[in-house]
Amino acid sequence: MTTPFCGIDWGESRHDAAIIEHTGQVITDAKIATGAAGFSQLLTMLAEAGDSEDPRGGCALCTVHYAL
């Protein structure tokens, strides 16, 4: 199983998320809602992308405003 990396462009009305492999190949991407429904969708995306024992995976967040 590959080690997935997640990137999130955090917006006011929606967020754009992508999960990629270490090679840069996109595993999945989606526009997700703000709030609990969006976080649930993001967690589902991450779970479906794969599970890895490799601790080098990560997640990056890009925002100017609206962060937690």
Instruction: Show me where the domains of the chain are located.
Output: 17-47
Whole-model pTM over 0.85: no
Residue 62's DSSP bridge partners are 9
| DSSP structural state of residue 39 | H
Reported as a single tens digit per residue, the pLDDT across 18-57 is 999 888 899 899 999 988 999 899 889 888 887 666 666 7
Pairing of strands 14-20, 5-10: antiparallel
Round to whole Å and give the CA distance between 63 and 27. Answer: 22
